[in-house]
Structure 1
Amino acid sequence: MLEERNVSVVKDADGNNIVVINDVIFKGRQGINWKDVEEYLKRYVGDFYTIADSKDIVYIGTDLPDEYAHSEYTNVLKGGNAKAKANAAQGIPELVICATNKEYSPNLKKKHNHDAKNGWYKYESFFAMPVFDIEGDIERYNVYHVAMIIRHASDGKKYLYDIINIKKRSE
């Protein structure tokens, strides 16, 4: 199923890996169908990827599709950032592999005592999406910086939990 993805990785002038999402499959700036995004993400459940920078193995658990599509963060997204998060789902493997700047924080919420018993990790990653002109040709790419939230579960494994803090990089 993942062979349908049109994703590549390039380096920017500063040496950062940028995950390029070449197809915009979740269209529109208003009214993203998050149920479709959730269904799309289910294809990754059970997969795992190694972060090149830290060598941490990150698993995709059954909670990712729902959390990614319906988190408090996702619920307040509007416009271009909502569209960006929805389409970033296509680059989950590459975003995990290219993640950098690992930061740890302990779990402070009782509701996560089991699923994040060993705390949380935040990584940074970048992705780009094409912007099309009126004729449908690529005009430019918007580059986004994101925080990838990884939960360290009681089973000792690290699981991708959500992608938050999506910020378009200024030109």
Structure 2
Amino acid sequence: MDKKISVISDLDGKKIVVISDIRFKGKRNINWEEVEQYLKEYIGDCYEVVETSDQVYIGSDFPGELKGSGDTKRLYGANAKAKANATQGIPMLLQCATNRRWQENFKGKHNVDAKFGWYRFTTRFALPVYNNDTGDLERFNIFRIEMLIRHAADGNLYLYDMVNIKKKRAPRLSNSCTVTNPFLDYMIH
């Protein structure tokens, strides 16, 4: 299956990044080393958060931080799989991010890399759920995740981690159907 990422809107006009490819599979454990290697492809890229016009860079510390963060270590099951697969949509997740919040840096170890504090943005994404027996697409699960961004001493914003993932109830979409097969047939094909 080709990696396909698209953006849809719910009835409230809120964006959902749809990630149609499950690259990181595993019922019990995610291979975070593999995720880290994949994330290295993003190093040096810059993406704009449309709502705020903030330019967010992907620094060399991001892959290791996402793999080894306390947030990642606490995850298991569907949420771990969702976080790993959300990495495929980083450009669109940042572009669709909303609800920017600032917080002061309280940890001495971040005095340089987050000298001017932290930003959190909220974004949403959807991942497909396939029938184990037939392989047919059954539905999409919707997740909310926060993009944790550090405001470094060089004045730039850098993606640091993706945290606080939470599965959400499937929203109603602007074409008056929920995220189920009829919608998927329209969107994916």
Q: What TM bracket, shorter-length normalisation?
A: over 0.9
The CA RMSD measured in Å over matched residues stands at 0.9
Mapped contact 1:58–1:160 kept (Cα < 8 A): yes
Corresponding residue for residue 114 of structure 2: 116
Q: How far is 1:14 from its partner? A: 1.8
Matched, 1:87 2:82: no
Secondary structure of 1:54 counterpart: coil
CA contact (8 A) 1:29 1:82 kept: no
Instruction: Report SS of the residue matched to 2:145.
Output: strand
Q: In the TM superposition, what whole-angstrom CA distance separates every residue of 1:111-170 from its partner, at most 9, and x where no partner exists?
A: 000000000000000000000012111100000001110000000000000001100002
Aligned to 1:24: 22
Tell me, in whole angstroms, the C-alpha distance in 2 between the residues paired with 1:69 and 1:125: 20
Partner of 1:165: 164
- Structure 2 stretches lacking a partner, 5+ long: 171-189
Structure 2 counterpart of 1:94, which letter? M
| 1:35 and 2:33 aligned | yes
Moved over 3 A (4+): none
Paired residues in the alignment total 168
Instruction: Give the unaligned 5+ runs of structure 1.
Output: none
**Distance in structure 2 (CA, Å) of the matches to 1:12 and 1:138:** 20
State TM-score, norm by structure 2: 0.87
Counterpart-to-counterpart distance in 2, 1:5 and 1:56: 26
Aligned AA (1:169): K
What's the % identity of the aligned pairs?
53
User: Matched residue of 1:36: which SS?
Assistant: helix
- TM-score scaled to structure 1, two decimals? 0.96
Which of structures 1 and 2 has the bigger CA Rg?
A: 2
The aligned amino acid for 2:143 is: Y
